[in-house]
Structure 1
Amino acid sequence: GYTNPSRAKTAAGMLRYAGNDVVAVLDSGEAGKTAQALLNAGGDTPVVTSVKDAGEANTLMIGVAPTVGKLPSPMRRHVLEAIQHGWTIESGLHDFLCDDEEFAAAARDSGAVLKDYRKNTERDVAMRQGLRAECLRLHTVGHDCSVGKMAAAIELARGLESGGVGTKFVATGQTGMMIEGDGLPIDAVVGDFISGAAEKLVLENQHHEAVVVEGQGSITHPCYAGVTLG
């Protein structure tokens, strides 16, 4: 029942930009429908009832992004079932799977891998040294959350690349990291080190002609401006 563009923006992003890797969407309340019907992305990707209906899948990606960053309780049984099957579980939640005693114990028994994208050890501060002036640096910002900062950054990076400009999309949130395969979870970095983490990403990728840094949070919303201005 969580499969809608507002609640499941991580799932929608994956279907839109990495859809070839998605076998099915798991939502027991919407089984029988398609991803396209529920999320406006993913075409005929089926919505299934449980892990056992997901064909040859071997990874469960938690596709919701709730405000408080906690796993919705109805999803626990699906996550546990996937762990018991030995799947890799990928999560962008603030509550870490590896800190959940039940999940951790089940993973030890089955050999499943629990991957928490927001878990990090960033402890650097920005020094503004070594930046390459020849690398164009672009940063998407927005007046609020969920207004398309990641999508704009990906589309801009892909457009530049298709136009012959060597460009790297720099992911700073869990969905972007899942799509791109690298990046840092800026909104989970300790406040003192946000600027250092962002600078680190630029330094690591400035061998490209351009980098497009995914924006986070909101420049005006009082709840989320901290991560944007950090």
Structure 2
Amino acid sequence: MPYTIDLLPNQGDSTQKVAILTEGYSTPFAAKTANSFIRYRTDSVVGVIDKTEQGKTCQSLFGVGGEIPVVASLADCPDANMLLIGIAPPGGQLPAEWMPILYEAIARKMTIVSGLHDFLSENTALMQAANEQGATIVDVRKNDEQNIAMRENINHDCLKIHTVGHDCSIGKMVVSMELTRGLIEAGNDAKFIATGQTGIMISGEGAPIDCVKADFISGTVEKL
């Protein structure tokens, strides 16, 4: 795989305790990253941070996640060691009012995981604070992929199901995840291959196709 995010929790990994930040954006579309991560990594999530919705559960807010609480602040998730940016807004920009929460996470030496186009690792002040405190910042979309397709080592006997759609946020990844789960339950050897930031966060590996230069997309997909 081109990108393996070892810092992200694996299925059944009890050492990672994830707090998801959706402050002011806790709707199914704006918080689609949070929604899907909660759906498929329920056991890793200790809370969702949104003071405008505090006191609710993830089930009541997103329709998934059961009794995972929606809390007012990062301080309400004392066991969390990872802060996941749970939104995917148009343009992929981080809300400026979230910066104090990120600095709070850095002070706690947490891992911050972001799938935004606005790379946190390119914020000089944020990175300086992270380096000083021993915190880690992971930009899931950031890559330097420059391979071209060579049509090598392709298994033609492997059935590949490609999900496409006319827009973002219409369920391509969820369909892929559910197909994979159904195939495995039916006794097949199947694997979900992530090509977007949320899928990479869930599976821990994949490639952020919408952030790969067009000339190298085919080569990146071939490596998957």
Same fold by TM-score, threshold 0.5 exceeded?
Answer: yes
Normalised by the size of structure 1, how large is the TM-score?
0.85
The answer to whether the aligner puts 1:122 opposite 2:115 as a matched pair is no
Written as runs of structure 1 = structure 2, the 5 A alignment for 1:156-167 is 156-167=179-190
Amino acid at match of 1:13: S
Unpaired segments ≥5 residues, structure 2: 1-23
- Residue 6 of structure 1 corresponds to which residue in structure 2? 29
Stretch of structure 1 that moved more, 69-78 or 2-11: 69-78
Instruction: Give the distance between the partners of 1:30 and 1:78, measured in 2 at CA.
Output: 17
Deviation of 1:129 (Å): 2.5
- Residue 15 of structure 2 corresponds to which residue in structure 1? none
If asked which structure has higher relative contact order (CA below 8 Å, sep 6+), I would say 2
- Residue 31 of structure 1 corresponds to which residue in structure 2? 54
Deviation of 1:123 (Å): 0.5
Stretch of structure 1 that moved more, 153-162 or 36-45: 36-45
Instruction: Give the distance between the partners of 2:218 and 2:172, measured in 1 at CA.
Output: 18
Q: Percent identity?
A: 51
The aligned length equals: 201
- Residue 193 of structure 1 corresponds to which residue in structure 2? 216
Written as runs of structure 1 = structure 2, the 5 A alignment for 1:1-230 is 1-201=24-224
Task: Indicate conservation of the 8 Å contact 1:23/1:55, yes or no.
Answer: no
Instruction: Give the distance between the partners of 1:190 and 1:143, measured in 2 at CA.
Output: 20
**Superimposed CA distance per residue, residues 7-55 of structure 1 (whole angstroms, 9 cap, x where no aligned partner):** 0000000000111100000112211111112111111110111111113
- Other structure's SS at 1:170 match: coil
- Other structure's SS at 1:161 match: helix
Pairwise CA RMSD: 0.9
Unpaired segments ≥5 residues, structure 1: 202-230
Amino acid at match of 1:30: E
Deviation of 1:130 (Å): 2.2
Instruction: Give the distance between the partners of 1:29 and 1:77, measured in 2 at CA.
Output: 17
